[in-house]
Structure 1
Amino acid sequence: MKLIFGYSDYRDFIRDYFEERKKHSTFSWREFNKLAGFASPNYLKLVCDGKSKLSKKRAGFVAAVMNLSASEQDFFELMVAIDNTTNEADRKALTLELRKMARKSKARIIDADAYVFYESWKYPVLRELAPLMPGASSKKIADVCHEKICAEDVENTLQFLVNSGFLEKDEKGRYTQTDANVTGSKESLPRAMREMQRQMAALAEKAIGKFSKDERHFLGITCGCDEETYKKVTAELEDCRDRITAITSAAKNINQVFRINLQMFPLTKKV
């Protein structure tokens, strides 16, 4: 079982802890709950299945049963706090604090890095652009971007991408992507992407007047839908995104970075 500092979801940690103990003993959910002081013999199983939550007080009980050290308990309770908060600003601050604690133990939390990655258009753009310009200076990379960015920002952004594992840099200063796509937990990544979606929508608005029809492609449909049709259309959009991703991943002679927005949103209230 890996160290707790490699987790971003306390439910995953509890589940792994339970499975590890069960391998070497007759440990059961009933016993686990009893040791933690819960009347229900199935409470922690419901928590791990996402059907219930831990309070800060109850998190302390569970941490005691798992014999966590002081720093491990702090980390565990921080994961619980992130899951419980409904305030986006608080969630971001807590997640970044989780990242700091993890780094002290040389562990990387992708969800925390995702918050930073999606804070600005420059992170995904430079992640795509830098590998296309091997050995290029930060100034040259900045000059290629349509949006204004200085050489210092490019340098700092690339440093973050390398430190966080989104890019690798060799001894000759050439960058390569570590993975084809950026991933994180299905809970945290959509929250982190909201700011990026706002920024990319603003860039799309600029692009209408900034580029000729030969350089950009815009399509739109205004249509009526019910709930079932909405689900079918959004599923089709997701399939389209996946097919496009497969096409672009197979590209051999990439020479430019683009953004593709697939959007569907309500224009009226329900009638």
Structure 2
Amino acid sequence: MKSVLEYKDYHLYIQDYYDERKRLGAFSWREFCRSAGFSSPNFLKLVSMGQSKLSKVKVEAVARAMGLVGFEIEYFRLLVVFCNAEKDSVKRTALLEMQKIALEHRVRVVDGDAFQYYESWKYPVLRELIPMMPGACPRDIAEECKEHVSAEEVRDVLEFLLKAGFLKKDGEKVYSQTEQTVIGSKEALPIAIRSMHKEMANMAARAVDRYSPNERYFTGVTLSVNEEANRRIIAEIDACCKKVLSIANEYKDQNQVCRINFQFFPVTDKVKEARHA
């Protein structure tokens, strides 16, 4: 069975633990629950199926029932916090603490790179900009950015992009992009991307007044939809985004980094019943 440090879902870990114990000999959900201090013989089964949540007060008892000790118990506690949390800020804090524990005990966690790449506009923007400026020093690169970034920050971002494999060095102060994309778990990556969406939306709001109409393009419509229209519109936006990237990739003489935000979101609740005049 995998180490608990490799899990991002405590429901799955509990199920895997049960399956492993069952494989090795006679074991039941009743016995499992009793050893963890539950009177209900099926409670942990419901937890493993995602139909119930594990409370904070029972975390340590369940962890010890599964034979976890020391840092493993702390990781399991954070795992429960991460899965049960509704706020992204709480999830992020728990996941970063999980990563720290895993790294300290020599278990590789890939979600950290995804978090760092998406925590600021500087990472994706500089990944695009730096290859356009062969031979440039960090200060020159910083001065090309519309949003403030220091030369020291450029150096730090460049070091990360190289270490994480998003850029490669081709010569003295000459860099190019790799084909690598940000890879993280399905649980962690959406949280990181939401943070980037918020930051880019704020930058777009500032762009309304910062740039003249011939430097930027803003448009929007307010419309009513049903479920089928909603799905078709989202598919069309996805196709449009891929087409835009395809157009940009046709050219090899890029000289500016831009950002497109596709925003499609509800501004009312769903009407429960159709209203007729």
2:263 corresponds to: 263
Residue 215 (structure 2) pairs with residue 210 (structure 1)? no
1:49 corresponds to: 49
CA distance in 1, matches of 2:180, 2:169: 16
CA distance in 1, matches of 2:54, 2:162: 35
CA distance in 2, matches of 1:120, 1:41: 47
CA distance in 2, matches of 1:78, 1:252: 47
2:252 corresponds to: 253
CA distance in 2, matches of 1:121, 1:130: 14
Q: Is the 2:99–2:112 Cα contact (8 Å) retained in structure 1?
A: yes
1:146 corresponds to: 146
For this pair of structures, how many residues does the alignment match?
Answer: 267
SS where residue 51 of structure 1 aligns? coil
Q: Is the 1:237–1:262 Cα contact (8 Å) retained in structure 2?
A: yes
2:180 corresponds to: 179
Q: Which string of whole-angstrom CA distances, capped at 9 and with x for unpartnered residues, describes residues 26-68 of structure 1?
A: 5555554444344445433432332221112332222113211
Quote the offset at 1:147 in angstroms.
2.4
Q: Which string of whole-angstrom CA distances, capped at 9 and with x for unpartnered residues, describes residues 79-108 of structure 1?
A: 112223344443333332222222212334
Matches within 5 A, 1:62-77: 62-77=62-77
Change (3 A) 1:251 1:16: farther
The Cα RMSD (Å) is: 3.6
1:222 corresponds to: 222
Quote the offset at 1:244 in angstroms.
4.0
Q: Is the 2:8–2:187 Cα contact (8 Å) retained in structure 1?
A: no
CA distance in 2, matches of 1:178, 1:104: 30
Structure 2: give runs of 5+ residues left out of the alignment.
272-277
Structure 1: give runs of 5+ residues left out of the alignment.
none
Matches within 5 A, 1:1-271: 1-25=1-25, 27=27, 29=29, 31-131=31-131, 133=133, 136-162=136-162, 165=164, 167=166, 169=168, 174=175, 176-177=177-178, 179-180=180-181, 182-208=182-208, 210=211, 213=214, 216-241=216-241, 243-244=242-243, 247=246, 253=252, 255=254, 256-267=256-267
Change (3 A) 1:29 1:155: farther
Quote the offset at 1:190 in angstroms.
3.2
- Higher mean alpha-carbon deviation, 147-156 vs 91-100, is at 91-100
Q: Is the 1:7–1:109 Cα contact (8 Å) retained in structure 2?
A: no
SS where residue 191 of structure 2 aligns? helix
- What TM-score results when the alignment is normalised by the length of structure 2? 0.74
- Higher mean alpha-carbon deviation, 28-37 vs 193-202, is at 28-37
Change (3 A) 1:3 1:146: same
Name which one, 1 or 2, has greater alpha-carbon Rg.
2
CA distance in 2, matches of 1:254, 1:138: 21
- Higher mean alpha-carbon deviation, 20-29 vs 81-90, is at 20-29
- What TM-score results when the alignment is normalised by the length of structure 1? 0.76
Which amino acid in the other structure matches residue 195 of structure 2?
Answer: E
Change (3 A) 1:183 1:245: farther
Q: Is the 1:139–1:151 Cα contact (8 Å) retained in structure 2?
A: yes
CA distance in 2, matches of 1:166, 1:62: 39
